[in-house]
Homo-oligomer: A and B are copies of this chain.
Amino acid sequence: MSTETTEATGKNKNKERDLWVGFDLGGTKMLAAVYDGDYKLLGKKRKPTKGHEGSEAGVERVLGVITKALEDAEVSVDRLAGIGIGAPGPLDVIDGVVLDTPNLGWKDVPIQKELEKEFGCPAVLLNDVDAGVYGESRFGVAKDARCVVGLFPGTGIGGGCVIDGEIFRGSRLSCFEVGHMRVVPDGPRCGCGRRGCLEAVASRLTISSHAAAAAYRGQAPYLKAEIGTDVSDIKSGALAASIKAGDKTIEDIVRAAARHLGTAAGSLVNLLNPDVILLGGGLVEALPDLYSEVVIAAAQKRAMACYRDTFKVKVASLGDYASVQGAAAWARHTLETKKN
């Protein structure tokens, strides 16, 4: 290639690095999406995570899924400007290392470096819930809010906070572990080993375990007949179907959990005074009206008088794409801010 050609294509070459990849590394599935500079979705690829295969195989799957998404988008890898990857914590977001994620079976995996080596562009690691909250605050229901607090009840309870366009971050690690605030002294045992965590009284897994007991006791005929009493089978969809079919006890259980979440939301209103409390995750997606109603009521009750009209409770709107689009946009924001 002659100098002249290089110079002639110089502008073009710069322009070539114009695409961003967002990646969501979930406990059960992974999803990659390729975006242009206007966040138009060009291509995507989804695959089961298969955490039991170990982290080496897991990293290979991540790289493979991104390669497939690029193929789906029909673009070449050298157009990639950066990759944002959301993963469950705890993480070292500075060095881009997944520290210890039992759901994935990963421990001390330097995913950022692996991505950079493979694709020849910078990568940024962030917490998956942070990615979702950032995504909704950039592109979704929380678009115009200055301060968003996200609460995502699932197997555990994830949280995230975006303020003035930045993800709130602690001293080094990713944070906002809202599920491990203590809400009931000497309360039920939590997966983290402590007692009375929000997660221990309001997560989907807690609800499922109470629902299983109710089904066993004959208090939830639909759930008993259609799903059974195995907590592994009682997912968000099953709970929603059971409530719809008239299992009143299941509704009571979910409402009690949602009230705990709403009270915690109210405490966070007093603490951080966000514009928007953003609810997301599978359980909220399956029961958006119930969650909105109960969380608003409990949060209003807990909020101080002067904060009562200062916040809205909203249900996440972008589904799976909140996290991937959020991760892509956060990578871009981080890398472009660093440059300037």
Contacts and interface: CB of A to CB of B under 8 A. Distances in A.
A183 B177 CA distance: 16
A172 B272 CA distance: 11
Given A170-B147, A270-B177, A272-B170, A99 B306 contact: yes
A277 B315 CA distance: 33
Nearest to A163: B168
Interface string A262-293: 01101110111111000000000000000000
Given A180-B304, A302-B194, A306-B100, A275 B185 contact: no
Consensus secondary structure, chain A interface: loop
A265 to B, nearest CB: 11
A273 B170 contact: yes
Given A192-B304, A304-B180, A304-B192, A311 B271 contact: no
A183 B180 contact: no
Contacts of A268: 181
A137 to B, nearest CB: 13
Residue of A99, A180, A268 most packed against chain B (CB within 10 A)? A180
A56 to B, nearest CB: 23
A301 B192 CA distance: 12
A260 B172 CA distance: 26
A176 interface: yes
Nearest to A164: B166
A304 B177 contact: yes
B266 A170 contact: no
Nearest to A171: B275
Nearest to A201: B185
Contacts of A90: 304, 306
Interface in A99-132: 99-100
Interface string A133-167: 00000000000011100000000000100010000
Contacts of A270: 175, 177-178, 180-181
A307 interface: yes
Contacts of A302: 182, 194
A327 to B, nearest CB: 20
A305 B263 CA distance: 25
A310 interface: yes
A31 to B, nearest CB: 26
Give 5 closest A-B pairs by Cβ, nearest first: A170-B273, A175-B273, A181-B267, A90-B306, A177-B270
Interface of A: 89-90, 99-100, 145-147, 159, 163, 168-173, 175-178, 180-185, 192, 194, 263-264, 266-268, 270-275, 301-302, 304-307, 310-311
10 contacts: A90-B304, A163-B168, A171-B310, A171-B311, A172-B273, A175-B272, A176-B272, A177-B304, A182-B263, A183-B185
